[in-house]
């Protein structure tokens, strides 16, 4: 049987759905999370709130790997927002920005995948912990999706730059 979800845990889950939806919308609309768009801003704010509310939760009674991933996601957002402003990065700026923001989305989903698979369906969850084969297999598939997404982003950024240069 799954561990019961506290009221604060339920609130955190609802808050965490905001960046998932906004991030997916951003990826579908423009192939990246663009902080200049409404969905990009919603993603950034939602991710920050998700990470901050996660600090109030812990099945281990203290700092856990999910908290560490949240901090890494915030650092990735910082890097993604800073990269376009660093002129010494030259032509790498749009790539690094897109990769960093995508990496934050990747990190957001890691604890989400674990929590979902260890809690649903409620009567008989698919997994019994983070080391469960179904969790590890799903995380491996998620890593493959992330790598494929970065490859697509690279192609999109490059094709947009090539199109701008020839226009």
The pLDDT, as a whole number, for residue 123 is 87
pLDDT of residue 116: 92
Question: How confident is the model at residue 161, as a pLDDT?
Answer: 78
In Å, how far from its chain's centre is CA 89? 24
Percent of the chain with pLDDT over 70: 93
C-alpha span between 47 and 66 (Å, rounded): 13
DSSP code of residue 121 = S
**pLDDT value of position 59:** 64
Hey, what are 132's tokens? 């469960």
pLDDT at position 1 is 44
- The pLDDT tens digits for 15-26 are 999 999 999 999
Q: Are 146 and 154 in contact (CB under 8 A)?
A: no
pLDDT over 70 at 58, yes or no: no
Contact 164, 94 (CB under 8 A): no
Q: What is the pLDDT of residue 57?
A: 80
């Amino acid at each position: 049987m799954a561990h019961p979800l506290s009221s604060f845990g339920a609130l955190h889950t609802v808050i965490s759905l905001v960046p998932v939806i906004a991030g997916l919308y951003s990826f579908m609309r423009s192939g990246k999370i663009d902080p200049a768009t409404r969905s990009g801003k919603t993603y950034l704010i939602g991710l920050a709130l998700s990470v901050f509310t996660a600090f109030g939760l812990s099945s281990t009674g203290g700092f856990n790997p999910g908290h560490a991933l949240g901090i890494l996601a915030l650092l990735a957002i910082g890097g993604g927002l800073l990269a376009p402003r660093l002129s010494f990065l030259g032509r790498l700026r749009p790539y690094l920005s897109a990769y960093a923001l995508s990496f934050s989305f990747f990190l957001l989903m890691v604890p989400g995948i674990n929590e979902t698979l260890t809690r649903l369906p409620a009567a008989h969850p698919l997994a019994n912990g983070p080391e469960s084969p179904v969790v590890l297999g799903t995380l491996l598939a998620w890593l493959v999706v992330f790598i494929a997404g970065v490859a697509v982003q690279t192609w999109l950024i490059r094709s947009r730059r090539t199109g701008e240069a020839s226009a």
